[in-house]
Amino acid sequence: MNKSIKKVLIIANLHKREVKGLIEEIKDYLEQKKIEVVVFGFIGKPEIPDVRGIDFVFSLGGDGTVLYASRVVESSGIPILALNLGKFGFITEISKAEWKTVFEKYQKNEVGLSRRIMLKVVVEREGRKIISFKGLNDAVISCEGISTIVKLSLMINDTPLGEYRADGVIVATPTGSTAYSVSAGGPILDPELEALIVNPICPFTLSNRPLVVSGDEVITILVEADQRVGIILSIDGQDSFPLLPHDRVIIEKSHSKTLLVKSDVRNFYEILRSKLNWSGGPDA
């Protein structure tokens, strides 16, 4: 039995040269199938479009466009077909030549969904919640401007882990394990695992190592009082918020998940092998 799709949202990064022609190609195809199409193209930092009545989303761009799209549809359960128009993408599995085949197979239940956990990030100041975010990749607490050591205290549930003196701390999902976290020496996780990575950035103490915890844990990070620089919280590298001494940042698995249409041409491990140029020989 085919899936019923009546209204589609195309989220398109207009910085990509080929995106306008691809928008028209997808739009013409869908309208021939009597599917209503809404196009949201953006340059720079976009607003959040209305997703009421939307059944399905095409994300046209790179990994950054998917990160944005995931926040657009979070909590709505709308699947995303992510087309890779970038140069180096781990999240976007599907090429621009494959979208029609994958879409038709999805409608026929011949390809499934990859269910990715998201982060819920809450900032508390003087005992009250002042702002919250959702993210697919990571939450990063670091200094503003030139790299300087920051002082952060970390707690997992009710257990203190001690003070981190580092350039910052990354809390990443499995999807985000191939982003900033891996560059900071963190492990790569299967993107469908329900786990979180706590990864100090260039820690002053060598005993502070990356930690993988259950996705059910609650991570609390306290900004210590004695800071020499401003501190900033960044979500997926796209949203940011300045932190003050004594702020508490509470990070946990969101109730929402990002639903990505899977490719039946390649899987995560094939993408990993290709992107990281693993040959298995002496030059790997």
Residue positions annotated with a catalytic role: 63
Question: Cα separations (Å) of 119 from 103, 138, 169, 174, 232?
Answer: 28, 7, 15, 11, 17
CA-CA-CA-CA torsion for 270, 272, 275, 277, nearest 10 degrees? -90
Listed residue (223, 220, 212) closest to 159, CA to CA:
220
CA distance 97 to 274: 18
Is residue 168 within 8 A of residue 143, CB to CB? The reply is yes
Q: Which helix (H) or strand (E) holds 218?
A: none
Which tokens belong to 211? Answer: 């930690």
152-to-29, 68, 220, 245, 246 alpha-carbon distances in Å: 52, 28, 10, 10, 10
Sign of CA dihedral 271, 266, 76, 22: positive
Q: Are 81 and 103 in contact (CB under 8 A)?
A: yes
Query: 213 Cβ partners below 8 Å, 6+ apart?
Result: 156, 195, 196, 197, 198, 219
Q: Check if the beta carbon of residue 64 is closer than 8 Å to that of residue 87.
A: no
